[in-house]
């Protein structure tokens, strides 16, 4: 695990952007990511929004990221044409200022697409207005910086942006150098053609005309925008939207020779009724199958094929009847799935980000003498917390057990008989509470065993001992599991995730098992979303009414290919667990002070159900009230 980085991930906003990308593109498989710039990449099947917005206010950040998605998912996908983009990139390789050229094209094309999007979807105007104001402020600041540092082409780029988005045709730029202001004046007749651009070809032509006049400049040092399409060389259709929705041709172009005289088939029409056409001409055929892959053949339409689940109609006709062998093949399907998994078949049971993650169990061994002695010391340290907490819970249980249920329509007759006279339907009976199982609940404590826990693990164990001792005393089944990903064993399609089983639900009451807690040690990385999903599946199978999952952690998820999407994936895992009736609480262990960004990311993952602990030494003091709250909830 790594400590929190400065780039906060707002999981709610991220999921909104993912939904926007999916809905606007019309493709549920198109992933959304944050990146250096805003692009569409068909090869990697993703759409990105720019990290430029990370350090802005929440209102500007939300509008900026959403407009990035609008520009790519509506604009670039549907209204930017691939042949012109390819030709433009080929020509760019030959000029002396390629970085400026690509950025200028990206800017001008975005301005063209913005107007199209606002006309098509007027509801986007507010977000684009915020975007424009934010960029005006940014480029106004950069203009001064570039002019001061003598970066002429960077300065000119800022002037071009500010000129194009200005409220009037003659804005003033007092901080700009005279040379670049003169150059801007010379470019204005060409620049203003942007407002008349109707196609990608128009944008490329305007860009090339401007670049042609600037060949004496050195290329820009800064990169403000990126080319909107990545890996464009692999795109074959006219637009990216066509590429997303294209149907692949037949895999095999060979032709199967068939003797028509030897091929028996039945030429018969199958009709269906429809309220709009009523099948008046009696010529519609209901049995229709769309094949995206296959082999060309001369067999006529009567050629038979095996039915599939997706067919509009299915019928299996056998010429001669015979007795069924009544074989049960249900287990073969399971066997095939297992074999597929062993051969490297990917499963997204635990989330798309974890398709290469593999669950590996590590069982706790018999405790050593040293572990037993250390455990006794820890038990002695937490004894005051345990005794106070257990006494409070036991008193609550006793009070509830002795408190009779009043105002019933049958049972034991109460001494208070006045309602017989006053009420039309008197309730003058009561019942004593019967003895029952005090706790219909189960707990799992999931402990982050990443490398960053090396200076916190000993104190963390004190809190875990308190957890174990209290629940053991109250006879509440619980499990304690440490989790980590072995970074040294990670391969391209293999991410081993270990689950150190300290206590299971069945052995958590055993007196001799407590010292096993001492075997928890800091290891490598942590893939929190995967681990939570694994434990959620285990808790689902339990019969108890109340199920609790407590996650001890000291930072955000960090594992192989998990740095950017780890927070979002973990948030989804927590949300899914809660939908299944499992109460998930995140417990953050700080190094003496809780930073604002740390609290923000924990909130993004766990919401209000989180406990922020400034110092590990204070863990028992924070853990005891939490256990009390959870146990009283289920008494």
Any idea where the domains of the chain sit in the sequence?
Answer: 11-234, 369-398+437-634, 404-431
Which of 214-218, 226-230, 560-564, 575-579 is predicted least confidently? Answer: 560-564
Separation CA 17–CA 46 (nearest Å): 12
Per-residue confidence (pLDDT) for residue 101, from 0 to 100: 95
Per-residue confidence (pLDDT) for residue 343, from 0 to 100: 41
Among candidate residues 475, 523, 516, the one with its CA nearest the CA of residue 497: 523
Q: State the residue for tokens 């007749």.
A: 189
Per-residue confidence (pLDDT) for residue 260, from 0 to 100: 52
Hey, which bits of 320-414 come out as E strands?
357-363, 405-408, 412-413
Q: How confident is the model at residue 319 (pLDDT cuts 50, 70, 90)?
A: very low
Q: How confident is the model at residue 392 (pLDDT cuts 50, 70, 90)?
A: confident
**Mutual orientation of helices 528-540 and 566-579 as an angle, nearest 10°?**
10
pLDDT at 485 over 60: yes
Percentage of the chain beyond pLDDT 70 is 76
Per-residue confidence (pLDDT) for residue 84, from 0 to 100: 93
Q: What's the rounded mean pLDDT across residues 370-377?
A: 93
Question: Measured at the alpha carbon of residue 429, what is the angle toward residues 424 and 434, in degrees to the nearest 5?
Answer: 145
Strands 229-230 and 40-41: parallel
pLDDT at 309 over 70: no
Core vs surface per residue 525-552: b (16+ CB within 10 A) or e: bbbbbbbbbbbbebbeebebebbbbbbb
pLDDT at 5 over 90: no
Per-residue confidence (pLDDT) for residue 418, from 0 to 100: 59
Q: Label each residue of 198-253 as H, E or C.
A: CCHHHHHHHHHHHHHCCCCCCCCCCCCCCCCEECHHHCCCCEHHHHHCCCCCCCEE
> Hey, is 47 helix, strand or coil?
strand
Separation CA 495–CA 523 (nearest Å): 15
Q: What's the rounded mean pLDDT across residues 197-225?
A: 94
Chain center to CA of 449: 23
Rounded to the nearest integer, the mean pLDDT of the chain is 81
Q: How confident is the model at residue 249 (pLDDT cuts 50, 70, 90)?
A: low
Per-residue confidence (pLDDT) for residue 422, from 0 to 100: 59
Long-range contacts of 377-380 (CB under 8 A, 24+ apart): 378/461, 378/462, 378/465, 379/465, 379/469, 379/514
pLDDT higher at 366 or 421? 366
pLDDT at 73 over 50: yes
pTM beyond 0.85: the answer is: no
Hey, which bits of 27-125 come out as E strands?
31-35, 40-41, 46-50
CATH code for the domain defined by 369-398+437-634 = 3.40.50.410
**Which residues fall within 8 angstroms of residue 618, CB to CB, at 6 or more apart?**
none
Per-residue confidence (pLDDT) for residue 496, from 0 to 100: 95
Task: Please give the backbone phi and psi of residue 81, each rounded to the nearest 5 degrees, phi first.
Answer: -100, 135
Q: How confident is the model at residue 7 (pLDDT cuts 50, 70, 90)?
A: low
pLDDT at 433 over 80: no
Q: What's the rounded mean pLDDT across residues 11-35?
A: 90
Per-residue confidence (pLDDT) for residue 261, from 0 to 100: 55
Task: Please give the backbone phi and psi of residue 21, each rounded to the nearest 5 degrees, phi first.
Answer: -60, -40
pLDDT higher at 470 or 406? 470
Per-residue confidence (pLDDT) for residue 289, from 0 to 100: 45
Per-residue confidence (pLDDT) for residue 492, from 0 to 100: 87
Q: What's the rounded mean pLDDT across residues 302-320?
A: 44
Task: Name the burial class of residue 424, with classes exposed (0-12), middle (13-18) and buried (19+) by CB atoms within 10 angstroms of its CB.
Answer: exposed
Long-range contacts of 395-398 (CB under 8 A, 24+ apart): 396/632, 396/635, 397/438, 397/635
Under a CB-based contact definition with an 8 Å cutoff, are residues 610 and 588 in contact? yes
Q: How many helices (H) and strands (E) does the chain have?
A: 18, 16
Separation CA 484–CA 451 (nearest Å): 9
Which parts of 430-477 fold into alpha helices (H)? Answer: 457-473
Per-residue confidence (pLDDT) for residue 597, from 0 to 100: 80
């Amino acid at each position: 695990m790594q400590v929190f980085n400065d780039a906060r991930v707002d999981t709610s906003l991220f999921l909104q952007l993912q939904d926007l990308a999916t809905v606007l593109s019309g493709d549920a498989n198109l992933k959304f990511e944050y990146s250096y710039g805003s692009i569409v990449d068909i090869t990697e099947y993703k759409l990105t929004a720019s990290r430029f917005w990370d350090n802005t206010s929440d209102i500007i950040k939300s509008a900026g990221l959403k407009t990035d998605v609008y520009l790519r998912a509506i604009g670039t996908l549907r209204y930017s044409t691939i042949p012109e983009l390819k030709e433009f990139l080929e020509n760019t390789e030959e000029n002396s200022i390629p970085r400026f050229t690509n950025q200028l094209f990206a800017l001008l094309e975005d301005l063209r697409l913005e107007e199209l999007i606002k006309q098509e979807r007027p509801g986007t105007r507010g977000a684009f207005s915020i975007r424009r104001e934010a960029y005006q402020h940014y480029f106004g600041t950069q203009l001064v910086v570039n002019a001061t540092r003598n970066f002429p082409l960077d300065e000119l780029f800022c002037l071009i942006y500010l000129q194009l988005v200005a409220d009037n045709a003659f804005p003033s730029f007092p901080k700009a150098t005279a040379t670049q202001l003169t150059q801007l004046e010379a470019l204005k007749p060409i620049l203003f053609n942007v407002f008349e651009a109707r196609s990608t070809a128009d944008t490329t032509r305007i860009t090339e005309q401007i670049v042609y006049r600037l060949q004496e400049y050195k290329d820009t040092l800064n990169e403000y925008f990126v080319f909107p399409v990545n890996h464009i060389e692999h795109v074959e259709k006219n637009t990216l939207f066509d590429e997303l929705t294209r149907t692949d041709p037949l895999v095999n172009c060979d032709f199967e020779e068939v003797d028509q005289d030897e091929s028996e088939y039945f030429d018969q029409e199958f009709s269906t009724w429809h309220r709009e056409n009523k099948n008046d001409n009696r010529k519609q055929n209901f049995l229709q199958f769309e094949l995206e892959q296959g082999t060309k053949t001369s067999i006529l339409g009567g050629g038979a094929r095996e039915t599939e689940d997706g067919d509009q109609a299915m019928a299996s006709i056998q010429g001669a009847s015979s007795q069924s062998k009544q074989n049960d093949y249900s287990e073969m399907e399971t066997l095939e799935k297992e074999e597929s998994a062993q051969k490297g078949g990917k499963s997204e049971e635990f989330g798309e980000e974890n398709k290469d993650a593999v669950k590996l169990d590590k069982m706790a061994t018999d405790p050593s003498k040293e572990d037993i002695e250390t455990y006794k010391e820890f038990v002695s340290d937490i004894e005051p917390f345990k005794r106070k907490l257990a006494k409070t819970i036991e008193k609550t249980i006793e009070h509830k057990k002795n408190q009779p249920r009043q105002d019933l329509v049958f049972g034991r007759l109460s001494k208070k008989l006045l309602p017989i006279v006053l009420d039309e339907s008197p309730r003058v009976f009561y019942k004593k509470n019967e003895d029952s199982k005090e706790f219909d609940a189960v707990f799992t404590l999931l402990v982050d065993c990443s490398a960053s826990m090396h200076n916190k693990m000993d104190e963390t164990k004190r809190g875990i001992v308190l957890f174990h001792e209290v629940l053991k005393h109250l006879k509440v089944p619980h499990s304690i599991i440490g989790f980590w990903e072995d970074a040294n064993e990670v391969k391209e399609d293999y991410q081993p995730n270990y689950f150190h089983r300290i206590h299971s639900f069945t052995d958590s009451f055993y007196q001799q098992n407590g010292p096993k807690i001492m075997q928890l040690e800091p290891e490598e990385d942590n893939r929190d979303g995967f681990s939570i999903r694994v434990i959620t599946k285990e808790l689902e199978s339990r019969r108890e009414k109340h199920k609790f999952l407590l996650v001890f952690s000291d930072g955000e998820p960090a594992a192989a290919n998990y740095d950017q999407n780890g927070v979002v994936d973990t948030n989804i895992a927590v949300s899914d667990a809660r939908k299944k009736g499992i109460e998930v609480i995140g417990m953050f262990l700080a190094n003496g002070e809780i930073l604002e960004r740390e609290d923000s990311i924990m909130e993004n993952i766990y919401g209000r159900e989180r406990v922020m602990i400034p110092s590990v030494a204070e863990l028992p003091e924070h853990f005891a009230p939490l256990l009390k709250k959870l146990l009283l909830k289920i008494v």
